[in-house]
Structure 1
Amino acid sequence: MDTRRLLRTYALPLATVGLLVSGCTTGGPSVSESEAPGTAGRSAPSAALAPYYGQKLDWRECGVPNFECATMKAPLDYAKPEGETIKLAVSRAKATGPGKRLGSLLVNPGGPGGSAVGYLQAYAGIGYPAPVRARYDMVAVDPRGVARSEPVQCLSGPEMDRYTQVDQTPDDAAEADTLEQAYEKFATGCEKRSGKVLPHVSTTEAARDMDIARAVLGDEKLNYVGASYGTFLGATYAELFPDRTGRLVLDGAMDPALPARELNRDQTAGFETAFKSFAADCVKQADCPLGKKSVADATTRLKDFFAKLDASPVPTGQDRELGESLATTGVIAAMYDDGAWPQLRTALAAAQDGDGAPLLAMADSYYEREADGSYANLMFANAAVNCLDLPAAFKTSDAVRAAAPEFEKASPVFGRGFAWAALNCGHWPVPPTGKPHPIEAKGAAPIVVVGTTRDPATPYKWAESLAGQLSSGRLLTYDGDGHTAYGRGSDCVDTAINTYLLEGEAPKDGTRC
């Protein structure tokens, strides 16, 4: 299991598409006085940044019908804008009409590490409501270090296979040392393969890149829908450029005021809430592999199942066996979307019968592992951004052991694993540049913050907190299961957001669906 502050959202059914992540991050490098948070939107770009804002994109066909692609340049280091540059991948689907064009609508599926371009081309550019696509150019920019934008690289495919199988619930000092060594090897690999970009993939820098994108697309203000980690990216943009903030939807919200330890602990509790919902549903089903008695009994059975796999992994028909870590990841993957619960029941039953292949496939989808054994850069970018944005939750094994009881209290099922997963940034080769702080974004237009009451990855209270921090925040609540709410079946949520995007009328603060 490698859940380290991964906040993921499904865009399509689990069986057909990899998870799109979101991670808990906040903060960023310091900014100059002329571009300080809350003032940047009121000033023109500096002379050094003007060439970036004035660049013309060379749009071309990119092999996907109805989509165009281009490459945008940004400073590698905003403190040295006349120095090296970084190339960022951009894609768009033009407004289809009818109706007056409203400009560009940038989308981001989360992560950090999720490909916005991939999300746009696979889902948002064809799956968003037709009236929205009719009046907006649907646009995505892969954030720096992600996918097509000079991606961070850390480990080879075989190395990642070994990494994802390391026991993240160590039973003794030797197993704890093995886990720490795995984190160290991961971090060293990132530094070796991506040392140039590693200090420059913060959320603050990605938000500044979005302002360049806004300008070169010809928009006076940024219109944006961000999911999960994408909510923190959007909120950071609003903090930096409040006067350039247009219609922002932040779905599955992060809380930028929390330090890493609290974020990890809250997320642990979120997954426990999601598992209890799954278990309550499972025990009513004829095919439930966790018994038919109660949520408590199902919890005990799952813990016992993980313990058995820790001692004796089961075959999968591949070189890799299904041990506790990969099995836990497969279960966690299904917590993001209640539509995946039937698949999880089938996979758990198969694993209990000695066939780990279905549950392994769910874990592989979570990690974006391809059939040829290669991995997308999702996990690499996720760590790079998270570890840069916030000081590490823990730096030593002893610190994890001391905190483990509070994590296990938050989740008897996942607590220990989540506590140990939070140690990963303790070995990061680049010091963090950000720190937790509330985001107010004074002067920004109304910002719609969406929270789902039983969201596993971004607990509902995070949405409440962010909406309260933002001076113009409007909280839209979805009483339901799964991660994020827009486009997931609630007519109430979809109507509220579509009305805001198309007519500029934000829902009343406190609206519930």
Structure 2
Amino acid sequence: MRRAARRLPGAAVAVAGVLALLLAGCTAPKNQTEVDNEVEVGATPSATSDVPAELREYYEQAIDWTACGEFQCGTVRVPVDYADPAAASIDLAVKRSVATGGDAIGSLLVNPGGPGASGVDFVDSVVGVVGPGVVEQYDIVGFDPRGVASSNPVTCLDDDAKDDLLSADFDYSTDAGIAAAEDAYAAMGAACAANTGELLGHVDTVSAARDLDVLRATLGDEALSYLGYSYGTLLGATYAGLFPEKVGRVVLDGALDPSLSSDELGLGQAVGFENALRAYVEDCLGGSGCPLTGTVEDGLGQIHDLVEGARRSPLATSSDRQLTGTLAFYGIAVTLYDNGSWPVLTQALVPALTEDDGSLLLRLADIYNDRNDDGSFASNSTEAFTAINCLDGASSADPAAMRASAAATEAAAPTLGYYFSYGGVICADWPYASTGTAAPITADGAAPILVIGTTNDPATPYLWAQSLAEQLSSGELLTYEGEGHTAYGRSNDCILGAVDAYLLEGTMPAPDTRC
């Protein structure tokens, strides 16, 4: 996953910030699904059966829930290293919305993606995203994965150094430029190791998926009911591969393909964002107030020239900061996660293209990066994203290999493909070696799993959802024909009703359902 993937799940959070900045808000769609109160997918006496003796203390712990606003909060202890569970432990932050209809049919664990987005924070918004029947019948539980937010966060650079790294434009056309990038990320890695400690080597997705099983048991559920967006689909699929017999009702929306290498993921995302940007340009040129001119190809070229120009000579803004090419890319990318944000991109491009004023694009980049106006950062999503991805599977850092991969990526996505390339520099000198391997996940023996794909999803291309649904022995694909990243809760009543029927009644949509 390349840099543009950093809001893969939590893109919903970034989009909310974009819309709050310049657009009116939207209301949640209505639920059209009847609730079946006889469904039993929740607590049973055997929630901790078949647990290895060395892990039993983790599985049998009780959560001490305390009030936190209108919700309940607590912590769950998990081992740092599952190969040596007695050595050290950490606490995972959890937050739940108690079923409003009385006795819950079970817990629905939710993850907004990233990797690096906070599931604890996500609870506040997800209760307005899922259907009302789901809120009534499930305890909705968010959690911060290990190394994220309130769960022993990966901690690295100070705010100024982080700001410098996020805005840097490295010249990958030269060996010196590649070396400079590797040095910058090596410094980040060293700071992460010094400030985070042993946990930095154990924030991989497999460890987080094992945490999910501890969470399931401590919540009293025999089977895992789960809603994962974007990177959250990889976490959920990994869980299904490890614990197929514990799979309950699992929804994977905006799917990643676990069989793809990091370079293949980068190429797929580059094409996804290129397609989304093309759809935006076509829409912009057909409306009023569009700063782009000529054909769609002309408009894409104008955006390419803007970003490339900012990389060579950063644009001035209304602050003492400049808009670099990297920041311009972030500012454009964040608006492509939801077509409801396209008017915001138009408003930002007008001054950038007509007055060389990068102020609005800079503001959008800050939303993408969780940067506050005072220069502080609202989350550790950048740090967690990097640490998790470097463990899960790093790209080659060989300059020749990176340049060959970049050439293929830029040929397939000429407008912004450059920013999905040279990912190998990030993990070249990371303190811990990668432990992950790209491979299909079949989860043989698992209950039916619902995979959702959006046909023009920029961050997780539709092909990935098709592939994951085919890989999973019990996978079923639900298609949303539309724009934007993920579908459940932001698309239409057809998707909402299909997912609610599955979560509440266990009813899968008909094969090849398209909404």
Residue number in structure 2 paired with 1:32: none
SS of 1:500's partner is helix
User: Is this contact kept in 1: 2:390–2:430, CA < 8 A?
Assistant: yes
User: Could you give the per-residue CA deviations for residues 276-326 of structure 1, whole angstroms, max 9, x where no partner exists?
Assistant: 1111111112111222x2210011111111222223222222231112110
Indicate yes or no: 2:221 matched with 1:215.
no
- TM-superposed CA distance for 1:381, in Å, is 0.3
- TM-superposed CA distance for 1:164, in Å, is 1.2
User: Is this contact kept in 1: 2:167–2:324, CA < 8 A?
Assistant: yes
What TM-score do the two structures reach when normalised by structure 1?
Answer: 0.91
The one-letter code of the counterpart of 1:317 is: S
Residue number in structure 2 paired with 1:167: 169
Counterpart-to-counterpart distance in 2, 1:377 and 1:194 = 12
Residue number in structure 1 paired with 2:269: 267
User: Is this contact kept in 2: 1:169–1:416, CA < 8 A?
Assistant: no
Counterpart-to-counterpart distance in 2, 1:397 and 1:339 = 39
Change (3 A) 1:342 1:168: farther
Which segments of 5 or more consecutive residues in structure 1 lack a partner in the other structure?
19-40
- TM-superposed CA distance for 1:403, in Å, is 2.0
Counterpart-to-counterpart distance in 1, 2:77 and 2:221 = 17
- TM-superposed CA distance for 1:370, in Å, is 1.8
Aligned residues: 485
Report matched runs for 1:57-456 at 5 Å.
57-62=63-68, 64=69, 66-97=70-101, 101-121=104-124, 123-168=125-170, 170-291=172-293, 293-352=294-353, 353-375=355-377, 376-390=379-393, 392-456=394-458
User: Could you give the per-residue CA deviations for residues 428-472 of structure 1, whole angstroms, max 9, x where no partner exists?
Assistant: 110111101111111111000000111011111100110001010
The one-letter code of the counterpart of 1:300 is: G
User: Could you give the per-residue CA deviations for residues 1-34 of structure 1, whole angstroms, max 9, x where no partner exists?
Assistant: x71643342255333679xxxxxxxxxxxxxxxx
Change (3 A) 1:399 1:471: same
Counterpart-to-counterpart distance in 1, 2:181 and 2:349 = 26
Runs of 4+ aligned residues of structure 1 deviating over 4 Å after TM superposition are none
The one-letter code of the counterpart of 1:475 is: L
Counterpart-to-counterpart distance in 1, 2:73 and 2:19 = 24
- TM-superposed CA distance for 1:393, in Å, is 1.3
SS of 1:420's partner is coil
User: Is this contact kept in 2: 1:5–1:422, CA < 8 A?
Assistant: no
User: Is this contact kept in 2: 1:168–1:420, CA < 8 A?
Assistant: no
The one-letter code of the counterpart of 1:3 is: R
Residue number in structure 2 paired with 1:51: 57
Moved more, 308-317 or 368-377: 308-317
Report matched runs for 1:430-509 at 5 Å.
430-509=432-511
User: Is this contact kept in 2: 1:169–1:420, CA < 8 A?
Assistant: no
User: Is this contact kept in 1: 2:182–2:428, CA < 8 A?
Assistant: no
- TM-superposed CA distance for 1:74, in Å, is 0.3
Change (3 A) 1:93 1:208: same
Counterpart-to-counterpart distance in 2, 1:120 and 1:249 = 16
Residue number in structure 1 paired with 2:35: none
Counterpart-to-counterpart distance in 1, 2:48 and 2:167 = 50
Counterpart-to-counterpart distance in 2, 1:184 and 1:472 = 42
Counterpart-to-counterpart distance in 2, 1:17 and 1:423 = 35
User: Could you give the per-residue CA deviations for residues 145-193 of structure 1, whole angstroms, max 9, x where no partner exists?
Assistant: 0000000011111001111121145454443333222222222221221
Which segments of 5 or more consecutive residues in structure 2 lack a partner in the other structure?
22-46
Counterpart-to-counterpart distance in 1, 2:189 and 2:292 = 37
Report matched runs for 1:10-29 at 5 Å.
10-11=12-13, 13-15=16-18
The one-letter code of the counterpart of 1:206 is: A
Counterpart-to-counterpart distance in 2, 1:285 and 1:17 = 22
User: Could you give the per-residue CA deviations for residues 175-213 of structure 1, whole angstroms, max 9, x where no partner exists?
Assistant: 333322222222222122113111111111111111111
Change (3 A) 1:302 1:169: farther
Change (3 A) 1:448 1:169: farther
Counterpart-to-counterpart distance in 1, 2:80 and 2:178 = 37
User: Could you give the per-residue CA deviations for residues 79-117 of structure 1, whole angstroms, max 9, x where no partner exists?
Assistant: 01111001100000100016x621111110001100000
Residue number in structure 1 paired with 2:38: none
User: Is this contact kept in 1: 2:99–2:139, CA < 8 A?
Assistant: yes
SS of 2:337's partner is coil
User: Is this contact kept in 2: 1:322–1:360, CA < 8 A?
Assistant: yes
Residue number in structure 1 paired with 2:41: none
What TM-score do the two structures reach when normalised by structure 2?
Answer: 0.91
- TM-superposed CA distance for 1:413, in Å, is 1.0
SS of 1:395's partner is coil
SS of 1:387's partner is helix
Counterpart-to-counterpart distance in 1, 2:342 and 2:361 = 12
Counterpart-to-counterpart distance in 2, 1:82 and 1:185 = 32
Counterpart-to-counterpart distance in 2, 1:168 and 1:119 = 34
User: Could you give the per-residue CA deviations for residues 382-424 of structure 1, whole angstroms, max 9, x where no partner exists?
Assistant: 011111011x212133322222210111210111221124531
User: Is this contact kept in 2: 1:276–1:295, CA < 8 A?
Assistant: yes
SS of 1:13's partner is helix
Change (3 A) 1:492 1:169: farther
SS of 1:224's partner is strand
Counterpart-to-counterpart distance in 1, 2:320 and 2:503 = 49
Percentage identity across aligned positions? Answer: 46
Counterpart-to-counterpart distance in 1, 2:491 and 2:262 = 32
Change (3 A) 1:327 1:169: farther
Counterpart-to-counterpart distance in 2, 1:231 and 1:498 = 18
